[in-house]
Copies of this chain bind each other. A is one copy, B any other.
């Protein structure tokens, strides 16, 4: 309906209003969901305000889902594995959203198209929604955007959410704070099971899937499983009631995929039985809240007029060594807190 489209003051097509978007999201309209996620990801304060209004409405609905974090080194076959697991999840009657986070490239803004293209089969399913995210560096700190995207997907009726992270370290730990179950993917014979970086991720893993175990890799895979089992035994357990398992999988021969999904379901059954899922959700909401607080604090600081006019001068004084960075920072924060009593 071309006639209904209005041109807004900045020349773009006008966005539907909050009411319409919330309605659309709750009715499972993928386009509305995609637009809302774009608003959430936007750095524009106007978009942000609208995103908050939409999120408030979605939070009221109190929908929930099975939230799974999937991580592993590059080349481990994350997309292929997620596609196979995703099809299994859909076939068991669920609606699935896959959020891919790519913190790899700050300059080229990540391999967005690449990600989408790699999950071709899953992408055509009406029960699946795949959203690659251009991260633009926000995963490093405490930004709540990924968590907010999860909430939007839940409101849209997706009852299983997979958050895929590339890389090692920071992002996994952050995603772990908003998901319920962390699955670590490993290559057979990668030989770095016990090395520092892997150990850090192993600590947050609730299960490990060794990938690409078909064909010639089968012997190597068995060794990897033994090594992973041994490594897990050495690490403190996340939950005393949950034994972390190692699965040998292959997306090509569809080996082990169903077993992984069963394992995830068992985990949720136990968590629910022990009333731990509700507690986890509360803790996740607390995490989200503190991320929102810190994000908003920073934004209000930089958007403050007095701060904005003092910042370049203070910065210059610091760079030329006239004042120390600490007293410069202190003075800017005083200006933010007491705009009437300028130095």
Contact = CB atoms under 8 A, between A and B. Distances in A.
B292 A103 contact: no
A290 B330 CA distance: 12
Contacts of A285: 318-319, 325
A300 B110 CA distance: 35
A327 B60 CA distance: 14
A56 B75 CA distance: 46
Interface string A133-169: 0000101111000000000000000000000001111
| Interface band, chain A | 35 or more
Contact of A60 (B282, B290, B321, B326): B321
Question: Which secondary structure dominates chain A's binding surface?
Answer: helix
Nearest to A60: B321
A328 interface: yes
Interface stretch (A80-88, A91-99, A193-201, A208-216): A193-201
B142 A296 contact: no
Given A74-B192, A285-B318, A319-B282, A200 B104 contact: yes
Nearest to A323: B56
Interface stretch (A28-36, A170-178, A253-261): A170-178
Contacts of A139: 170
Tell me how many chains of this kind the complex includes.
2
A294 B198 CA distance: 31
Contacts of A337: 336-337
A52 interface: yes
Interface in A50-103: 52, 55-56, 59-60, 62, 73-75, 102-103
A321 B166 contact: no
A11 interface: no
Interface of A: 52, 55-56, 59-60, 62, 73-75, 102-108, 110-111, 114, 137, 139-142, 166-171, 173-174, 191-192, 195-201, 203-204, 236, 282, 285-286, 288-290, 292-294, 296-298, 300-301, 315, 318-319, 321, 324-330, 332-333, 336-337
Please name the 8 residue pairs, one residue from A and one from B, whose CB atoms are nearest each other, closest first: A104-B200, A105-B200, A141-B141, A74-B197, A56-B324, A140-B170, A167-B169, A293-B329
Given A55-B324, A140-B141, 18 more contacts: A59-B325, A73-B197, A103-B170, A105-B196, A105-B199, A107-B200, A107-B203, A107-B204, A137-B170, A169-B169, A170-B170, A170-B171, A288-B325, A289-B325, A293-B329, A294-B298, A297-B336, A300-B333
